[in-house]
Homo-oligomer: A and B are copies of this chain.
Amino acid sequence: MDKLVEAIRNFDNPSVVGLDPTVSLLPPQLLEGMEAGIGDFDTVKGQELWVAALNQRFMDFNASIIDAVKDIVPAVKVQIAMYEALGPAGVLTFAQTCRMAHDAGLHVIGDIKRGDIGSTAAAYASHLSGIARPKDETAQPSREAASAGANAAATDAAAVHASHSDREIGSFPWFEDSVTVNPYLGSDGIVPFVDAADEADKDIFVLVRTSNPSSDEFQELMTENGERLYEHVADRVEQWGAESLGTHGFSRVGAVVGATHPQVGAALRARMPHTMFLIPGYGAQGGTASDVAAMFDIHGEGAIVNSSRGIIGAWRKDPACKGPLSIEDSLHLVGMNARRAALDMRAKLNTALNERP
């Protein structure tokens, strides 16, 4: 987590902007006229055209926000579901958004919440490790000829990553610096991500206590030893991270802890001293700056707070965004409102952190 901790310090801002676009978060000027071009929506062709146009709008929208906040926030969180809703073409837009944020110098958290059995989790972990190198041990007669000049050590993926100062290669094709992971399948489903994170110098965040209303149904179940399910998960998270402590005291294995459970979050902060928290649920979902302040450590570190709609949808409260506007002017206002909301969030978080007892 060293890179993320340093980015937060550099910007004096423990917050992350959620790039989770939906049709209703796009200003109307961006959508004007779009449907006229798609023909009949009740055909595959019509839907393909609609999706292609919408993906372009998502890119324009995200670009305006990234450009407006890149000098004041350390990170973005990109929720892949919002892009997957547009089909495979949307998944490409997700990766292109991550790349755009990466190129702007932002730390990119891929909110993918994947989790599966070991061999499958290893496939998902390619979000961090990138495209698997063709292996010598698979029967590929032409392998040696094709890579005649390659150093033998280059078949070790860790060496490959280490040897490349060009971050493009290590980041292709997903351009994520960290991803979120679901713990329901146990260690099998987590360890491949930890390994990939180690190899690629990246991080993961495991869901521990999520921000949604029904998250208590299973996460709060009390077990026979007097601890709740999420506490069992929390203890495992500390274990999974034990071998990857960074120079700033946090491991590569972070935790997702919702802003909507302030007391739980404060208790988890004490229970998980080496774990960085990714805190969703601030703003639109109800969490406040003082709610989350107790989830930081005594140095005011160890957590990063996400806001999505509160920032990327801030334009909706700006009267200037109503009425006839060019697409360029509309996108400019989206960015300016996002910037204002991000600055406001930074101020609120830092004030709450400074006012802690």
Chain A residues packing against B (C-beta within 8 Å): 20, 22-24, 28, 31-36, 38, 41-44, 47-48, 50-51, 79, 81-82, 84-89, 91-92, 94-95, 113-118, 120-121, 123-124, 126-127, 130-135, 138-143, 145-147, 154, 160, 164, 168-169, 172-174, 182-189, 207, 210-219, 221-224, 229, 232-233, 236, 280
A31 to B134, CA, bound (A): 10
Q: Which residue on chain B has the smallest CB distance to residue A131?
A: B47
The distance from the CB of A109 to the nearest CB of chain B, in whole angstroms, is 14
The answer to whether B169 touches A188 (Cβ under 8 A) is no
Q: Which residue on chain B has the smallest CB distance to residue A81?
A: B123
The answer to whether A212 touches B224 (Cβ under 8 A) is no
The answer to whether B138 touches A23 (Cβ under 8 A) is yes
Taking A34-B142, A115-B182 as known contacts, 5 extra A-B pairs with beta carbons closer than 8 A to each other, sorted by chain A number, are A28-B138, A42-B160, A79-B116, A82-B120, A185-B210
Knowing A44-B169, A88-B173, A138-B23 touch, does A184 contact B160 (C-beta < 8 A)?
Answer: no
Q: Which of B23, B33, B79, B160 contacts A135 (CB 8 A)?
A: B23
The answer to whether A50 touches B134 (Cβ under 8 A) is yes
The answer to whether A28 touches B139 (Cβ under 8 A) is yes
A69 to B31, CA, bound (A): 45
The distance from the CB of A150 to the nearest CB of chain B, in whole angstroms, is 8
The answer to whether B146 touches A35 (Cβ under 8 A) is yes
CB neighbours of A95 from chain B (8 A): 87-88
Q: Which of B38, B169, B173 contacts A42 (CB 8 A)?
A: B169
Knowing A35-B140, A142-B35 touch, does A221 contact B216 (C-beta < 8 A)?
Answer: no
CB neighbours of A213 from chain B (8 A): 118, 188
The answer to whether B212 touches A186 (Cβ under 8 A) is yes
The answer to whether B87 touches A219 (Cβ under 8 A) is no
A174 to B94, CA, bound (A): 17
Knowing A84-B127, A207-B184 touch, does A41 contact B214 (C-beta < 8 A)?
Answer: no
The answer to whether B187 touches A217 (Cβ under 8 A) is yes
CB neighbours of A91 from chain B (8 A): 88, 91-92
Knowing A87-B131, A169-B42, A173-B47 touch, does A188 contact B160 (C-beta < 8 A)?
Answer: no
CB neighbours of A86 from chain B (8 A): 126, 131, 173
The answer to whether A124 touches B84 (Cβ under 8 A) is yes
The answer to whether A81 touches B182 (Cβ under 8 A) is no
The answer to whether A217 touches B229 (Cβ under 8 A) is no
A323 to B138, CA, bound (A): 14
Q: Which of B22, B28, B113 contacts A114 (CB 8 A)?
A: B113
Top 5 nearest A-B pairs (CB, nearest first) are: A87-B173, A186-B214, A186-B217, A28-B139, A117-B212
